[in-house]
Structure 1
């Protein structure tokens, strides 16, 4: 549920270490309105024909481009899945990833108020279609979403899912040793968080036409009734050795409850954090818990396949 992300500094190092993308992927960071709260910080990756040595405000290449909005896991940031964003931009998509206010590596003040996230994703789409400098290059009819962990929950809601957070308390009574319940206990938070949810929290965004969801948090809170209106194509990913979100209460619970079977991938020997990009040596030293994979699991090789399958899925469903 909570992790230290690939930081913005790590993102810069990664981009510098990947010159093959420099000539055809542009990047910019923007701040967008977030109601009465401070602005949301959003990273945008896009295809470009401008050489890397030219002006940083690169020209956006192509028209009628598909937009993919991205939602990170708890305690992450917009660059938590930078490698996937780069792969999407390299393939001709525009990827816009938000740092969810109150649920980032440097601001955990609202980490358990997960209902705040879908409206933030909605605001990213509003901005990209109405205010972004490259909005004329986008096709508003071809929008997809990617989410990991808390971000997977966020995307499910945006796609029409309605969770029942009142299910958390009985879940934790039955599974007090599970990570979610341990985290709530250590934080001194009452697991009956459903009582605090605003009445209008679970608003779908009909502009989203396809979604990729990896290791969705709180999967057990949906059920068939909660997911009955999720009718868009879904690509769902599960790490077979995910001890943070143990099977069958998360990914499998979502898979079994969707009204239409998703494209389902179960990755043998993978853990929860293997959906994050491979770590630099510096990040490995700083946060080994999110960087260490099981013996024999090649995170770099997996991400080549992971990103290629995501590109293939969105290419098929949005074009």
Structure 2
């Protein structure tokens, strides 16, 4: 079956807003089957400060498999059950980099990171400098994001104390929203950022255009076409992209160099990055059809980790769910699909040859 036909093949037996889809259940079964040999009961976690030339260090959170005993651990305003700074279990482990959306942080996709770590992946999620929940001073300088990803990857492969346990041939990236743009640039996408101005002139009320106007960086010269071209990192062999920002800057041929497997997600009720300029544009520009998922009833922020009660009270616009839609139930399917995709596309050589 072609991945691009998955939306129709995966039609749920019961209403999608009430239960996970049948394909989500199958993906979970596949996850349990594929991960049986490498899954770990415990998740380790550590925080890093990654140096960047001529810039402030990047804050990075790393989740990984461990055999140590876990305990409650505070991560910002969240709590997770991990073994803090514990030894890494396993060798030749695949590495997944996570790039959050505008105003996010390293904890934005913590449940997805934990699911990957439990399946035997090392996961490094950074907080992007100048585009996070504490500092939005560099939101418009989106072309810097792929270079920050490269800095983290360099560190993880050479300087992280457990770097010898990572398989440098099995590197993937997960990106949401602005992180989706970041991931596409990192796997070879050529972003013509000169298209942003004309697009926003034609669509001034679009959320992303209003946001860019509010956070314009007057200290920087006008962005030149292909400005994000320097972010291509050929070490990255697989990508998952959810609700990508600025998808139209890759059309019509900006993804011509991308040859790695791509899983693409779109929320049917996305009012932040609406069709057809974002995920749809990426799908159309892709040379090879991506594994494509549309999520019925989901909004833009439903790709973020499920909210705590305190978070829902503080930022209801991010935590609100559509009628009949459960982010928590959706993430059971979502995380299983993401893990299974990376297991297939970053399989160890001996496993791939079976």
TM over 0.5: yes
Structure 1 counterpart of 2:323, from 295, 314, 319:
295
Check 1:173–1:189 CA distance in 2 against 1; reply closer, same or farther (3 A cut). Answer: farther
After TM superposition, give the deviation of residue 146 of structure 1 in Å.
Answer: 0.2
**Other-structure match for 1:4:** none
After TM superposition, give the deviation of residue 30 of structure 1 in Å.
Answer: 0.4
Please say if residues 161 and 202 of structure 1, whose CA atoms lie closer than 8 Å, have aligned partners that are also in contact: no
| In 1, Cα distance between equivalents of 2:104 and 2:85 | 26
Please say if residues 165 and 194 of structure 1, whose CA atoms lie closer than 8 Å, have aligned partners that are also in contact: no
Q: How does 1:105-254 map to 2 (within 5 A)?
A: 105-187=133-215, 195=223, 202-254=230-282
Please say if residues 278 and 291 of structure 1, whose CA atoms lie closer than 8 Å, have aligned partners that are also in contact: yes
After TM superposition, give the deviation of residue 247 of structure 1 in Å.
Answer: 0.3
**Other-structure match for 1:42:** 60
| In 2, Cα distance between equivalents of 1:145 and 1:55 | 24
TM-score by length of 1: 0.89
After TM superposition, give the deviation of residue 201 of structure 1 in Å.
Answer: 5.0
**Other-structure match for 1:280:** 308
Structure 1 unaligned spans of 5+: 1-20
After TM superposition, give the deviation of residue 200 of structure 1 in Å.
Answer: 7.2
Q: RMSD value over aligned CA atoms?
A: 2.1
Please say if residues 23 and 52 of structure 1, whose CA atoms lie closer than 8 Å, have aligned partners that are also in contact: no
**Other-structure match for 1:18:** none
| In 1, Cα distance between equivalents of 2:43 and 2:83 | 13
After TM superposition, give the deviation of residue 193 of structure 1 in Å.
Answer: 7.6
Check 1:295–1:47 CA distance in 2 against 1; reply closer, same or farther (3 A cut). Answer: same
Check 1:198–1:164 CA distance in 2 against 1; reply closer, same or farther (3 A cut). Answer: closer
Higher RCO structure (Cα 8 Å, ≥6 apart): 2
Please say if residues 166 and 193 of structure 1, whose CA atoms lie closer than 8 Å, have aligned partners that are also in contact: no
| In 1, Cα distance between equivalents of 2:213 and 2:156 | 39
| In 2, Cα distance between equivalents of 1:204 and 1:185 | 27
| In 1, Cα distance between equivalents of 2:280 and 2:222 | 22
Instruction: Give CA deviations for 1:7-29 in whole Å, capped at 9, x if unaligned.
Output: xxxxxxxxxxxxxx995100000
Superposed structure 1 runs of 4+ greater than 6 Å apart: none
Structure 2 unaligned spans of 5+: 1-38, 72-81, 348-354
Structure 2 counterpart of 1:99, from 115, 118, 127:
127
TM-score by length of 2: 0.80
Q: How does 1:44-83 map to 2 (within 5 A)?
A: 44-52=62-70, 56-83=84-111
Please say if residues 224 and 259 of structure 1, whose CA atoms lie closer than 8 Å, have aligned partners that are also in contact: no
After TM superposition, give the deviation of residue 138 of structure 1 in Å.
Answer: 0.7
Check 1:189–1:173 CA distance in 2 against 1; reply closer, same or farther (3 A cut). Answer: farther
After TM superposition, give the deviation of residue 51 of structure 1 in Å.
Answer: 1.5
| In 1, Cα distance between equivalents of 2:137 and 2:215 | 12
After TM superposition, give the deviation of residue 197 of structure 1 in Å.
Answer: 7.2
After TM superposition, give the deviation of residue 199 of structure 1 in Å.
Answer: 5.6
After TM superposition, give the deviation of residue 56 of structure 1 in Å.
Answer: 3.7
| In 2, Cα distance between equivalents of 1:107 and 1:286 | 18
Please say if residues 95 and 172 of structure 2, whose CA atoms lie closer than 8 Å, have aligned partners that are also in contact: yes
| Secondary structure of the structure 1 residue equivalent to 2:69 | coil
